[in-house]
Amino acid sequence: MEQEPLNEFEQELRQALERRPAPPGLKRKIMAERGRLHTERLRSRTVIWQRLAASLALVAVVGGGVAWRVREQERKGEEARRQVMIALRITGHALNTVKTQLAGHHRGDGE
Amino acid sequence: MAHEWQPDFEQLVDEHQSMVFSLAARMTGDRGLAEEVAQDVFLELDRHLRRMESPSHVCFWLRRVTTSRSADALRRRRVRCTDLWIEIEERHGASGEEKESPLGARLEQMLATLPEPQRAALILRYQEDLTPEEIAATLDAPLATVKSQLQRGLKLLRAKAQSQLKQFVRVKR
């Protein structure tokens, strides 16, 4: 008793809810927006890569500069050490000469 | 196993635009909003295209995302049911090329006055011809809840139809 009118009602509802055609411009809008988004995504990806490349270049330049500076300081330190060693060697040699001369004088005084 | 199915986006739009638009239009009651929702849904499909495994998967995904996006859009707009009907009559239903029975048009109008979960279940049931199990999967809701929403929705719609559409019912009989 209750089932029959419900079926009829459901049939009416089914008919009322048939799919409607999409607006004519919908597909065109979707495809245009898709194209725009693809281009935008590609552009932003390119920008990201460019920024990454610029960052890497900057890191390389800064890193190279720091490395060069460290190496330069080491080189200067090595050069200073070498000069100090030469100076010490010269001083040692001079002291040896003075020591030899003094020893000669002492021997002369003793005789 | 790799997916052998190669989806063609343009073809998918051709195939499903009517379904997506109708779902969105009936859920939101606003043709303009429905177009926006449909566009967003298809653009999201484009982003997820590689994950689609089969035509039926696309169909399921589109129904699910359209229902969910429509509900979100509706919540954002906070459109009142009475306003929905003005929108539908003015923009959606009153298309010159569509021939509808007055009873059908009124039923569709009354459908929009139902609570959102009941409306979604009824649209999926009677527009998309889905079984309660399929609706439950689409809406990610328990089967018992969906069955109850369908029953309550139908009951409410019938009650509204009986009180408001007596003249149509009499004419039909």
| Cβ–Cβ below 8 Å for A16 and B158 | no
* Angle of helix B55-77 versus helix B116-126 axis, rounded to 10: 150
pLDDT value, residue B93: 47
Cα(A94)–Cα(A92) distance, rounded to whole angstroms? Answer: 5
What ipTM was assigned to the predicted interfaces of this complex? 0.75
**CATH number, position B159:** 1.10.10.10
- The residue segments making up the domain with residue B152 are 100-173
* Angle of helix A3-16 versus helix B102-111 axis, rounded to 10: 90
Does the structure show a pLDDT above 90 at B109? no
Chain B interface, Cβ < 8 Å to A:
9-10, 13-14, 17-22, 25-26, 31, 35, 38-39, 42-43, 46, 92, 95, 98, 100-101, 103-105, 107-108, 111, 122-123, 126-127, 129, 154, 157-158, 161
Closest C-alpha to B119, from B70, B62, B57: B70
Confidence of residue A6 (pLDDT cuts 50, 70, 90): low
Please count the structural domains in chain B: 2
The encoded tokens of residue B102 equal: 């007055």
Domain end, chosen from B46, B67, B99, is at: B99
Are B88 and B4 in the same domain?
yes
The pLDDT tens digits for B126-136 are: 999 999 999 99
| Cβ–Cβ below 8 Å for B14 and A27 | yes
The mean of the pLDDT values for chain A is: 89
Cα(A13)–Cα(B162) distance, rounded to whole angstroms? Answer: 14
- Three-class secondary structure of residue B163 per DSSP: helix
Are B145 and B91 in the same domain?
no
The pLDDT tens digits for B45-98 are: 999 999 999 999 999 999 999 999 999 998 888 655 555 555 555 555 444 444
Nearest-CA residue of chain B relative to A35?
B43
Are B63 and B8 in the same domain?
yes
Residues of A with CB below 8 A from B9's CB?
34
Are B142 and B107 in the same domain?
yes
In Å, what is the CA distance from B160 to each residue of A11, A47, B109, B123?
16, 58, 11, 17
Confidence of residue A4 (pLDDT cuts 50, 70, 90): very low
pLDDT value, residue B171: 45
pLDDT value, residue B78: 66
Cα(B35)–Cα(A7) distance, rounded to whole angstroms? Answer: 32
pLDDT value, residue A9: 83
Cα(B22)–Cα(B29) distance, rounded to whole angstroms? Answer: 10
- The DSSP string of chain A is --HHHHHHHHHHHHHHTPPPPPPTTHHHHHHHHHHHHHHHHHHHHHHHHHHHHHHHHHHHHHHHHHHHHHHHHHHHHHHHHHHHHHHHHHHHHHHHHHHHHHHHHHHHHH-
pLDDT value, residue B96: 43
Does the structure show a pLDDT above 60 at B113? yes
pLDDT value, residue B135: 96
Please report, as a single letter, which amino acid is at residue B51: R
Confidence of residue A36 (pLDDT cuts 50, 70, 90): very high
Residue B113: DSSP 8-state: T
| Cβ–Cβ below 8 Å for B43 and A30 | yes
Domain end, chosen from B48, B68, B99, is at: B99
pLDDT value, residue A58: 96
Domain end, chosen from B37, B70, B99, is at: B99
| Cβ–Cβ below 8 Å for B158 and A37 | no
Residues B6-15 have a mean pLDDT of 93
Residue B114: DSSP 8-state: S
- Count of CB atoms situated within 10 Å of the CB of B112: 22
The pLDDT tens digits for A48-83 are: 999 999 999 999 999 999 999 999 999 999 999 999
Residues of B with CB below 8 A from A19's CB?
18-19, 22, 127
Are B119 and B82 in the same domain?
no
Cα(A44)–Cα(B97) distance, rounded to whole angstroms? Answer: 44
Please answer whether residues B60 and B43 qualify as being in contact, where contact means their C-beta atoms are separated by less than 8 angstroms.
no
Cα(B68)–Cα(B126) distance, rounded to whole angstroms? Answer: 18
pLDDT value, residue B121: 95
Cα(A89)–Cα(B5) distance, rounded to whole angstroms? Answer: 85
